[in-house]
Every structure is written in structure tokens, then in C-alpha cells.
Amino acid sequence: MTDSNNRNTSPKPVSCATVPDGAKHTAAGSSAAKTVIASIWHTGGGKYAMIVIGLWVAVSAISLFWTPYRLLDTDGYHVWASPSGSHPLGTDGVGSDVLSWLMAGSRTNLAIALLTVCVAAAVGLLLVAAMVSRNSAFASTSVVVVDALISLPTVLIALILTVPFGASAAVIVISCGFAYGMNLARILRPAAMLAARSPYVEASLWAGASPIRVFFTHILPNTLPVLSVQLSISAGTSLLAEAGLTYLGVGVGSGVPSWGHSLSTSVRFISIYPMAVLWPGLVVTVVVIALNLFGDALRDAIDPLTNSALRDIS
């Protein structure tokens, strides 16, 4: 009886394990990321964009190790050849395989797009932080400086940079990143100003939070929908700029594979051999459309006002 009573009255073990706050935030962040990706995929434009961008990245990775022909292989007896079994997209004016050059050029254009987005984001966010500064004189001066610099054409900046650096991909990245950063700052300023004047930002500053912390934790998240669209547009525009600047002789070097290089070497013969211009032009068009659609889908996916699934994540 005594043993039975002891067994009946003994307290049951209670699990005291608790989930750390860091694990909770990590789980919530992972769930939010999956929700955003699923939202993008389930939109028509987002699905197309993810497929095209995925193929672009895959081809860029494959071209590091394999292309149908070496880029320096030429065939003088089969120049400007039409698509065939041995050359699926034909050949160019020196008999090189067009498909091989487009595959190799995909990694160059991918690097240019990524680096341009990074430079534009860094320049734009730095200027936005200056324009929403608590120092009204500094903020006003920053707005005037941005309005003055935004009028500089991208081509002019590229021509100026070509003098010390020569024609290279770095010229495209710096000139486009600087120009797009100016546009980004001007477009983000209204949303950033609205967030900077909100009560919770004022409360954070009064509580002792640093302006830098307030900017990255309170102001920047409120601009993410607009920021995502503008950066996707900047990535697509950088591909068009690469083609245009390479055609003018201030883009990538003559021996560097890129889609703009393929266009510039064959555009002079467009009336005689239109297929040589069609393929690189078609690739640029398809990828630019995909980047623009991806930005629109991402904007809707990360905004809780338009994506109800994000509001259900605690």
C-alpha cells in the first residue's frame, strides 16, 4: 500500500525544455522565406522568371567547365553558317560556334548583373540614409547632390572611366551601379521619409537606439518592396547597358565573351545574316523580361499587405 500510494502521489516529470529565442526567430525566418518563394512560384510571371533565372545560373555554371566548342576554335569554311546538327545556333563571321559564345557569355553577364545590383544597392542605401538624416541641413544638401548627379548619363560616366581603366566589365559595373544608385535613392526617399517620421522610430531614438540601427531595423524594412523592384530593374537594365556600351567600345574587351559582344560583332551584317543577331538579342530579351517579372513577383510576395500568408507567421 505504501509503495502504491507513493507511486500514485509522486509528481509526474514535467518537461522544462524551452525553445531559445534565437531558434524561434530562425524558424520564423525560414518559414517566411519558404512562404515568399512559394508565393513567387504560384504567380504566372514569377514561375516564368524563376525558371529562366535558374536556367541562366545553371548554364553559367556549366560553361565554366564545358561548352560545345572551345571559344578560340574557328572554321573558315563555315562562316555565318545556318543552324545545323554540329552547330545548333550556327556560326559567326570567323566560324566560331554561336552557342558556345552565348554559354560563356552568360557567366559574364551574370557577374555584371550581380555586381551592378550590389553597387547600386550600396550607393542608393547610403544616399537614402543621408537624405533621411535627423540633421535637416545635411539631408537637404544630400537631396540637392543626388538631383545634380542623377542628371549624368550612364554613357558619359562610362566614357570618363574608360580613360584610366580602359574598356572592361568594371567600367560597366561602376558606371551603371553609380547611375542606378542615384535613381534608387530618389525613388526610395519618400518611403524612407515616411518611416523615419513614424512614432515607433521616434520612440526607438528616444530609447537610445543609434541612428544606424534604427535605419536598418525600422526604416529599411519599410522600403523592401520598392527596393526589390528597383534592384531587379537595375539588373535587367545592366544587361541592356552592357550590350550598348560594348557596341560603343567601352564595355567588355574584345576577347571577353558576353551577350553584348556577340551582338556587336554581328550587328553590322544583320541584313545579310540575321540569325547571328537573333540569338543573342533573343537571350537578352528573355532574361530582361524575367528579371522585371521577378521583381514584381518578389514585391508582392514580401509585402504582408498583399501576401496574407506572411501575416499568419508568428
Round to whole Å and give the CA distance between 134 and 214: 12
Q: DSSP characters for 184-251?
A: HHHHHHHHHHHHHTSHHHHHHHHTT--HHHHIIIIIHHHTHHHHHHHHHHHHHHHHHHHHHHHHHTSS
Q: State how far the Cα of 269 lies from the Cα of 304, in Å rounded to an integer.
A: 51
User: Is the separation of the CB atoms in 301 and 307 below 8 Å?
Assistant: yes
Distance, in Å, from the CA atom of 47 to the CA atom of 40, rounded to the nearest integer, reads 7
Of all residues in the chain, what percent are helix, strand and coil, respectively (each to 5)?
A: 70, 0, 25
Give the separation between CA 9 and CA 25, rounded to whole angstroms.
39
Which pLDDT belongs to residue 313? 65
Q: Report which DSSP code applies to 134.
A: S
Highest-confidence range of 67-76, 181-190, 248-257, 262-271, by mean pLDDT? 181-190
In 3D, which of 201, 228, 202 has the Cα closest to residue 294? 228
Selection from 174, 184, 180 nearest residue 112 by Cα: 174
State the chain's mean pLDDT as an integer: 82
SS3 call for 65: coil
Chain centroid to Cα 279, Å, comes to: 23
Task: Name, in order, each residue with C-beta under 8 angstroms of 31's C-beta and a sequence gap of 6 or more.
Answer: 313
Distance CA 72, CA 146 (A): 45
The SS3 assignment for 97 reads strand
Q: What is the pTM of this model?
A: 0.84
Domains and CATH numbers, the chain: 35-70+91-312 (1.10.3720.10)
Task: Tell me what the mean pLDDT of segment 28-40 comes to.
Answer: 74
Bridge-partner residues for 37, per DSSP? Answer: none
Mean pLDDT of 192-201: 82
In the three-class reduction of DSSP (H, G, I as helix; E, B as strand; rest coil), residue 307 is classed as coil
The candidate with the shortest Cα–Cα distance to 128, out of 213, 219, 55, 8, is 219
Lowest mean pLDDT of 38-47, 149-158, 188-197, 201-210, name the range: 201-210
The answer to whether residue 90 scores a pLDDT higher than 80 is: yes
pLDDT of residue 312: 65
pLDDT for the residue 298:
86
CA distance 94 to 262: 12
Residue 221: the pLDDT is: 84
Phi, psi of 145 (to 5 degrees): -65, -45
pLDDT (tens digit per residue) in 8-23: 444 444 444 444 544 5
pLDDT given at position 4? 46
